[in-house]
Structure formats: structure tokens, C-alpha cells
A = this chain, B = another copy of it.
């Protein structure tokens, strides 16, 4: 009955494991939530036995934290890069920013992660805080200071810069959440790209002082990010 080759039943892959486990756990956690996720399934997805998990993560909680922090770190540098590229007036900045956000939302697991963090934020307030400090506050601070500068230059009407920042990104955040929670099958399955373009126009017209009144000729400059 023993038709086995002398292939090993398993391999020693000490340093490849953590990343693979985190990847598998990201899938399972985003799909089922923290409590419903079974470590048995995480292990299966990672191609290892359950016991092996515990060589790399002490508890289910530890694994969860690692998953969220890893995912945030991944998006963090993207934000940094985008921050560098920020040049020019709000007039040209906002459409590009929103379109990029829309593109990123569509093909990344960031919305799923957001839903996960929101859902677990009562049980893991520290993760909500990390998410806030590294992603939300980061972006908001950047936007807010850009707006304040533009106000100083006389480009933007008086008003609270933070509120303006929410006026800019709020609709996209909401649209992302809706499509994540209610699915694309919902009656309001509106393309985030369309929303981004139209809202950029709308909010800019509302914020800017009547000086730059150039309507955008081209409207298909969203960049897909893999």
C-alpha cells in the first residue's frame, strides 16, 4: 500500500511561514470576522497544521493584531508616496486624489479590512487607534494642511479646513463602505470612479473662490493599481 515517493511530508520553512500565515489569516478574518474565524481553517489555507501556528503566534489575538498591522503597513508607504507627489493647486489635486482613491478601493482588500476593523473596534480598540493614527489621521492631516495653505493663498473660501477635508473624502469613503457592506448588487451600485469624478467637480466648485473656473476636458484618468 505504501506507494509513496521519498517526498517529505512537510518542509522546514521557518522564515516563509509568518507571511504565509498572515496572508491566509487575512483572508479568513476578513471573510468571517475575528470570532467566527477558525484557526484550523487559517492553518489549512496556509498549508500547515494547526499546531504550527503556535510556533509563530502565541494566541489568536496576536495573529489578528499581526494581520491588521501588516495590512496597514502595506498601505502606509503607498500613502507616503502619494504625499510626495502632491504638487500644484487643489483644483488639479482633488480630482486626481479622489480618482486614485476610487481605483485603490476597487482592487484592494482595504475595504474588507476597514469593515473588519470597524466591526472589531469594540473588542480591539487599540487596533482602531492604530488604524486611525496611521491611515485616517495621516490622510486627513495631509489634506487639512493643503487646504489651509490654499486658504492662505486665497484659493479656498474661509471655513474649517478639517470639515472641508471631510467634505472632499466623505462621499468616497461612504460609497466604499456601502459597496463593501451591501455588495455591488445593491440598487445603488454606483461606480466609485464616476462618483469620484463628479464629486471632485462639485466639491471644488463649492470650496474654491471664483478665480479658477476651468472645467476638466479629459475625465478618464483613473489609474488601476494591482
Contacts and interface: CB of A to CB of B under 8 A. Distances in A.
A101 interface: no
Contact of A128 (B160, B181, B201, B205): B181
Contacts of A35: 33-36
Interface residues on A, range: 35 or more
A163 B125 CA distance: 33
Interface string A151-180: 000000001101110110111111101100
Contacts of A115: 118-119, 121-122
Contact of A122 (B31, B132, B171, B186): B31
Given A33-B35, A177-B177, A205-B205, A199 B136 contact: no
Contact of A170 (B125, B173, B205, B206): B173
Contacts of A198: 159-160, 163-164, 167
A195 interface: yes
Contacts of A122: 31-33, 36, 115
Secondary structure at the A interface, as helix, strand, loop or mixed, is helix
A172 B118 CA distance: 17
Interface string A136-151: 1100110000000000
27 contacts: A33-B122, A33-B123, A34-B35, A35-B35, A36-B122, A115-B118, A118-B181, A119-B119, A129-B182, A132-B181, A137-B186, A159-B201, A160-B195, A160-B198, A163-B171, A163-B190, A163-B194, A163-B199, A164-B202, A166-B171, A166-B199, A167-B171, A170-B171, A170-B173, A173-B173, A173-B177, A206-B206
